[in-house]
Chains A and B, each alone.
Chain A
Amino acid sequence: MGDLSVTLCGVELDNPVIPASGTFGYGHEFAQYYDINCLGTFSFKGTTREPRYGNPQPRIAECEGGMLNAVGLQNPGVEKVIAEELPKLKKCFAKPVMANVSGFSAEDYAYTCEKLDKEPQVGWLEVNISCPNVHGGGMSFGTDPEAASAVVRAVKAVTSKPVIVKLTPNVTDIAAMARACEAAGADGISLINTLQAMRIDLKRRKPLLANGTGGLSGPAVFPVALRMVYQVWEAVSVPIVGVGGVSTAEDVIEMMLAGAAAVEVGAANLRDPWVCRDIVRDLPGVMEKYGIENLRDIIGGAHG
């Protein structure tokens, strides 16, 4: 059997498969259906300084090849995540976990990251500067290189853990954003978050989502994510986590060939709760089919 192990910012993963934030709760929601220790790691639900209810209903819409969400970072706040969710997470997952953090100011991000930095099970901080569904935060940091750099510097000052910055695709130059984050000290880049999108209800003649817009995810965005991972690989030297529309072992390999050191799986978890387990199971067979002995060797392999 081929070697599935990879390294992400100095931390070993048994395999590159990582359920993406917002589609996997805090792990225990899925641990009742399979042993989630088969995963490389997972990125837990986006956490903010204060508790958030999120956006009004409806928050979910469908489209060809995917879905839109406008959840708006519902979470119980970092104190409660540490007090209530992480102890439950520890019982069902024995590996380092990725902590996904969002905020509305650089200070917010730093506050939340400093708290999570003290949690031994947190292996990486995934700093989400790309949520399209909140106002005055999230994506507004991820569309301006200066603002993104300020968040990265603020977070790096309070943690010794690897900081992976999650980028939005809703920019004209993704490589410039990635370079700015790397220059500010980011240890890795994950991309892409959802694409800002909309559906309109024909009966009401109004946007279907109460928030107006939402974030598009699912197989429809895979080629966009792949293209951006490819471009960012040429722009930075830190490791890249590829995210966006991945739903099969073949998709994982494709992402790695584009330049991803590890791969997150998002919306697919919502249609098929066992999809990440099945991707891990299917990887050795797909590697054999394409003559891959070692996943580390193929990272960025599609570049000239």
Chain B
Amino acid sequence: MKQTVFEIAGNTLLAADAYKLVLTGDTSDVTAPGQFVNIALPGRFLRRPISVCDREGDRLTLLYKTVGRGTAQMAAMKAGETLDVLTGLGSGFSLEESGQTPLLAGGGIGAAPLYWLAKELIARGARPHVVLGFNRAADVFYADEFAALGCAVTVATADGSAGERGFVTDAMAGLSYSYVYACGPEPMLRAVWERAQTDGQFSFEARMGCGFGACVGCTRETTEGPKRVCKDGPVFRKGEILWET
């Protein structure tokens, strides 16, 4: 973990309520796709945990959705302004088990960390199939960016206004794959977890206090006992996940 002041290189609307934030600064502690950063905002007490969408040299790309006053404040920030960021948080995805044809399932803004993951998997010779689930056409983002990496891409929308009608799990039903990586809201993760035909890794969201393992605010129960989403996760393996009934 490092505390770094980043400069905003860009902060642009990507889809409905979804923004792309590009930062420049010391990225040396950002070492694995699936990790997140924790952003301090002026006047807000807690930091905002946001997963890393991409890292290239000294540039970090973060995608975020405006869900409350903090993220709305972020959306109003302009290029040239600076942000106090804790980097290098969380365990990240492990690439070793992916096999040749991994499935990457993203729900809404949860697609963000799958982008860097897809890049890394392709660099290792895998051919990922990316399934992106959104509510409606206006929410869709990054389908072209994933395709440009060389991924097969399937988009599903709940109302059928773009891509296939249905959920991520409907779109993945006919596919065969070697492994599953998933990130998104918990009901989506659970649906993917229940239907996945292979082993996999699942990245969770949580309301965090610190983001680095101190406050145990984000604990969830696992088959191996209580674990912190921020420090022991946010990526958990299929076999260790327990769901609240």
Contacts and interface: CB of A to CB of B under 8 A. Distances in A.
Interface in A13-56: 22-25, 29-30, 33, 45, 53-54, 56
Contact of B221 (A23, A53, A58, A59): A53
Contacts of B3: 272-274
A259 interface: no
Nearest to A220: B45
A272 to B, nearest CB: 8
B213 interface: yes
B129 interface: no
Contact of A270 (B215, B221, B226): B215
A57 interface: yes
A63 B221 CA distance: 27
Given A67-B45, A67-B46, A270-B46, A60 B214 contact: no
Nearest to B40: A271
Contacts of A58: 206-207
A298 interface: no
A54 to B, nearest CB: 7
A62 interface: yes
Contacts of A218: 45
Contacts, number: 84
B173 interface: no
B214 A23 contact: yes
Given A53-B226, A61-B207, A271-B47, A74 B214 contact: no
B217 A71 contact: yes
Given A62-B45, A62-B46, A273-B1, A56 B244 contact: yes
A138 interface: no
A53 B45 contact: no
A248 interface: no
A219 interface: yes
Q: How large is the interface on B (under 10, 10 to 19, 20 to 34, 35 or more residues)?
A: 20 to 34
A116 interface: no
Contacts of B30: none
B209 A273 contact: no
B220 interface: yes
B219 interface: yes
A149 interface: no
A87 B220 CA distance: 26
Contacts of B213: 25, 29
A65 interface: yes
Contacts of B216: 45, 54, 71, 74
Contacts of A45: 216
A69 interface: yes
Interface in A186-222: 218-219
A60 B45 contact: no
A269 interface: yes
A59 B221 CA distance: 14
Interface string A278-296: 0000000000000000000
B7 to A, nearest CB: 20
B22 interface: no
A74 B47 contact: no
Contact of B214 (A24, A57, A65, A66): A24
A69 B215 contact: yes
Contact of A269 (B70, B214, B219, B221): B214
A25 B45 contact: no
A129 interface: no
Interface in B156-182: none
B218 interface: yes
A45 B47 CA distance: 22
B212 interface: yes
Contacts of A267: 45
Nearest to B215: A270
Interface of A: 22-25, 29-30, 33, 45, 53-54, 56-67, 69, 71, 74, 218-219, 267, 269-274
22 contacts: A23-B210, A29-B212, A45-B216, A54-B216, A54-B219, A57-B219, A60-B218, A62-B46, A65-B45, A66-B45, A67-B45, A67-B46, A69-B209, A69-B215, A71-B219, A74-B216, A267-B45, A270-B209, A270-B210, A272-B3, A273-B1, A273-B210
Given A54-B226, A271-B45, 6 more contacts: A29-B214, A53-B221, A56-B244, A57-B206, A58-B206, A270-B210
